[in-house]
């Protein structure tokens, strides 16, 4: 039996915890065949990102077309896109191929504060990619960069969701994981009509590298299998909670979240 397919358009993490490596292991954990359009090669370990080189935009386009024309894409996600030129190329190519629902994780920087996006590229994410997205999944740092809103409570989280939907995506998930001083991790999912608050436990761990990528690719996996956005997000939240609970130390810095529990 051929499994569903999901395409990740994202960067490589040499440390194996984020980027396409996180996406592929998450797709695998969901029984989904992972396809890849590589956008950048990062040099990084648990201590941080030392630098990156982007892939030429026409090569990113060619990878997407190659897999979409032959293998079929049931759902797609974008992660690190590195430059405005790559973002524009990805947006145009996704208009030309069948790639199913699109999850845009607006990756701007690593949790260690290193830029993963050239400076002029944030505007291209807002104007070129968000209008094509089924769902966008910013964390609170990315919400701040994209809207200027500093989320500190439920009211400002809702305002941020409304402001982000103005950019044209069908749904937005404002992830509350980075909110200070809350016992629970509350994410807000909205399409402008429904506002669905998803609450889960906050685990004490230093090792959260790759958490955003893993959640977005878990959601993409469920969409590839035909789930609705609210069901895919609810399942993605359960998946990432377990991955954070079972995160492991690796290297002297921040270790990765772990999907290995699916093997139990
Ligand atoms: N490296 C790559 C290639 C990524 O795509 C990401 C996040 O999307 C990161 C690093 C940063 O991961 P984190 O902020 O979880 O450390």
Q: How far is the CA of 183 from the centre of ligand 1 (A)?
A: 25
Which pLDDT score, from 0 to 100, does residue 177 have? 84
Q: Is the CB of 142 under 6 A from ligand 1?
A: no
And the tokens for 134? 């089924």
Q: Is the pLDDT of residue 181 over 80?
A: no
Q: Is the pLDDT of residue 115 over 90?
A: no
Q: Is the CB of 107 under 6 A from ligand 1?
A: yes
Q: Whose CA is nearest to atom 11 of ligand 1?
A: 110
Range(s) of the domain holding residue 142: 5-263
CA distance 193 to 93: 30
Phi, psi of 202 (to 5 degrees): -100, 120
Tally of domains within the chain: 1
Which pLDDT score, from 0 to 100, does residue 162 have? 98
Q: Is the pLDDT of residue 111 over 90?
A: no
pLDDT in tens, 25-84: 999 999 999 999 999 999 999 999 999 999 999 999 999 999 999 999 999 999 999 999
Q: Is the CB of 211 under 6 A from ligand 1?
A: yes
And the tokens for 141? 């740092």
Among 14, 210, 220, name the best residue to mutate to test ligand 1's pocket (greatest count of ligand atoms within 8 A of Cβ).
210
Q: What is the DSSP letter of 183?
A: S
Q: Is the pLDDT of residue 180 over 80?
A: no
pLDDT class of 251 with cuts at 50, 70, 90: very high
pLDDT class of 120 with cuts at 50, 70, 90: confident
Q: Is 259 exposed, middle or buried (0-12, 13-18, 19+ CB in 10 A)?
A: buried
pTM over 0.95? The answer is yes
Q: How far is the CA of 113 from the centre of ligand 1 (A)?
A: 10
CA distance 61 to 92: 9
Q: Is the CB of 19 under 6 A from ligand 1?
A: yes
Among 26, 107, 113, name the best residue to mutate to test ligand 1's pocket (greatest count of ligand atoms within 8 A of Cβ).
107
Q: What is the DSSP letter of 115?
A: B
And the tokens for 41? 């090669």
CB 61 within 8 A of CB 89: yes
Q: Collapse the DSSP code of 3 into the 3-class scheme (helix H, G, I; strand E, B; otherwise coil) and give the result.
A: coil
CATH code: domain of residue 165: 3.40.1190.20
Q: How far is the CA of 85 from the centre of ligand 1 (A)?
A: 20
């Amino acid at each position: 039996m051929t499994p569903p397919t999901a395409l990740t358009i994202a960067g490589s993490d040499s440390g194996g915890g984020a980027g396409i490596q996180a996406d592929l292991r998450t797709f695998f954990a969901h029984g989904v065949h992972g396809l890849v359009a590589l956008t950048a090669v990062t040099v990084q370990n648990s201590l941080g990102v030392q630098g990156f080189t982007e892939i030429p935009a026409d090569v990113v386009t060619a990878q997407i077309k190659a897999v979409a024309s032959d293998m079929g894409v049931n759902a797609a996600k974008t992660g690190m896109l590195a430059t405005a030129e790559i973002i524009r190329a990805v947006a145009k190519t996704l208009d030309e191929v069948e790639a199913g629902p699109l999850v845009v994780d607006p990756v701007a920087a690593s949790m260690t504060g290193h830029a993963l996006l050239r400076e002029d590229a944030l505007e291209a994410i807002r104007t070129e990619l968000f209008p094509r997205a089924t769902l966008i999944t910013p964390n609170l740092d990315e919400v701040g960069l994209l809207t200027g809103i500093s989320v500190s409570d439920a009211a400002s989280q809702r305002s941020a969701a409304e402001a982000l939907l103005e950019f044209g995506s069908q749904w937005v998930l404002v992830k509350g994981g980075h909110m200070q001083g809350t016992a629970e991790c509350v994410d807000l999912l909205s399409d402008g009509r429904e506002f669905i608050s998803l609450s889960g436990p906050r685990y004490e761990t230093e090792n959260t590298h790759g958490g955003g990528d893993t959640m977005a690719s878990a959601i993409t996996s469920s969409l590839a299998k035909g789930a609705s956005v609210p069901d895919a997000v609810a399942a993605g939240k359960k998946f990432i909670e377990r991955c954070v609970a079972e995160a492991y130390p690796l290297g002297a810095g921040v270790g990765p979240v772990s999907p290995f529990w699916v093997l139990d």
